[in-house]
Structure 1
Amino acid sequence: MRKFFAFLPAIALTLTFAPAIGAEASPSPPAKPAAATTEGRLETLFGELKRERNERKAERIAARIQQEWSRSGSASVDLMMQWSQKAMEAQKFDIALDFLDQVVTLSPTYAEGWNRRATVHFMMRSFGKSMADIHRTLQLEPRHFGALAGLAQIMKERGSKELALNAYQRVLDIYPMMRNAQNEVATLSEELAGDGI
């Protein structure tokens, strides 16, 4: 009888901790579905953008892509991006650049920071600096149709029509319904055909 009671505390302890032991052994929760991640959402949106043949709907999809791109994951970086935007709107480009220099230093893998700085350089007509930032943007996000359109515009400004045409065609591979790129491809194609005669 004494031996029986001696085992009771051991059995009670085993029963008390059994669920906890089982819980530790259970597998970790499943990973988030791809669509729940930023990259997953972007993949879906880029697929929709490529297939969409209604210009207005395509613009809405492009705006959603730009919203995804604008999320830096850092409250400080997001705030500096807002300040840079206000400075750009006020045409205070030096101030905008100060903020954007900090953005790309704090978050060097944030493509939109590089793209925004490329835009400011373009507005200041510093095309070499703009192209360097566009290059970095496209390294981080090769599908960045805004950066590609900026590159095309710089090539056109510099008189490199064929390179501008190639860049606009790359834009249309990603965003077929971008009206400005369509118009530029048509215009540049005609100009280059005329130049060849």
Structure 2
Amino acid sequence: MSFQFLNRTVASLLAIVLSSGVSWAADQEKLDRLYGQLQDADPAGARRVARDIEMEWSKSGSPAMDLLLKRGTDALEAGDMEAAIGHFTALTDHAPDFAEGWHRRAVAFARAEMFGPAVADLERTLALEPRHFEAIAALGAILGEIDRFDLAVEAFERVLAIHPHHAEVTETLENLGSRAGGADL
């Protein structure tokens, strides 16, 4: 192997790494801007901004990882939790820093009533993207399933601090109020 080839290879890899860092920073800036818009939006605008945020979450940066995400999501929607978990596990194995892969696998685990692995995946999701309001909402739902209503309420309140017009969470909080000790929400 010639050093000239090696130098070009290293230079190419360095360019890819540096450009992906710029892309990541641009993605973070876009997410920061969207989260700010979410705080200030009316209910209709909040739904649009939330969809934009969810679109950003679903961008892995890799066509192969996007395919695994799509296959897992298709299996999830078809009710095939085993296949969904398999696809999302491949995704998290190959893209461990992609928060949405962990979130979707957590959803599949939760639907399969495997709450321990679901909570572990939600923890990983939130370590990567602390403002992932859908992951926090999923955690709240799991906490409600295991009769930890006070903790579920805390999780749902955290969702509303990020996404003040999250309709499902608002409705769930109203239903949980009496089960969580009757506190005024």
TM-score (norm 2): 0.83
Shift of residue 193, structure 1, vs aligned partner: 3.9
Asked if residue 102 in structure 1 is aligned to residue 90 in structure 2, the reply is yes
Matched AA of 2:143:
M
Task: Tell me the residue number matched to 1:175.
Answer: 163
After superposition, give the CA deviation of every residue in 1:64-89 in whole Å (9 maximum; x if it has no partner): 00000100011110011111111112
List per-residue Cα deviations over 1:150-176 (Å, max 9, x = no partner): 000001111111000000000000000
Q: Which of 40, 43, 49 is the matching residue for 1:51?
A: 40
SS of corresponding position for 2:178: helix
The unaligned stretches of length 5 or more in structure 1 are: 1-31
Deviation at 1:192, TM superposition (A): 2.9
Aligned partner of residue 177 in structure 1, secondary structure: coil
Residue type at the aligned position of 2:101:
G
Match of 1:128 among 109, 112, 116: 116
What corresponds to 1:119 in structure 2? 107
Residue identity over aligned pairs, in percent, reads 35
Distance 1:100 1:153, change over 3 A: same
Q: Which residue of 2 aligns with 1:29?
A: none
Contact map agreement 2:106 2:118 (CA 8 A) in 1:
yes
TM-score (norm 1): 0.78
Question: Residue 126 of structure 2 aligns with which residue?
Answer: 138
Question: How far has the Cα of 1:97 moved from its partner?
Answer: 1.3
Pick one of 73, 79, 89 that aligns with 1:85: 73
1:43-76 CA distance string (max 9 Å, x none)? 0000010111x21210110000000010001111
Structure 2 segments unaligned to the other structure (5+ residues): 1-21
Give the corresponding residue for 1:150: 138
One-letter code aligned to 2:66: D
Paired with 1:64 and 1:151, the residues of 2 have a C-alpha distance of 22
Cα deviation, residue 148, structure 1 = 0.4
CA spacing shift, 1:76–1:188, aligned 2, 3 Å: same
Q: How many residues align?
A: 163
State the 1:187 CA deviation: 2.8
Instruction: Supply the AA of the counterpart residue of 1:43.
Output: D
In 2, Cα distance between equivalents of 1:71 and 1:119? 18
Displacement of 1:180 in angstroms is 1.5
CA distance in structure 2 between the partners assigned to 1:194 and 1:39 by the alignment: 39
Amino acid in the other structure paired with 2:74: K
Q: CA 1:189/1:64 → structure 2, altered by over 3 Å: closer, same or farther? A: same
Aligned equivalent of 1:61, options 49, 62, 80: 49
Residues 123/69 of structure 1: CA separation in 2 closer, same or farther (3 Å cut): same
Is the radius of gyration larger for structure 1 or structure 2? 1
Instruction: Supply the AA of the counterpart residue of 1:38.
Output: D
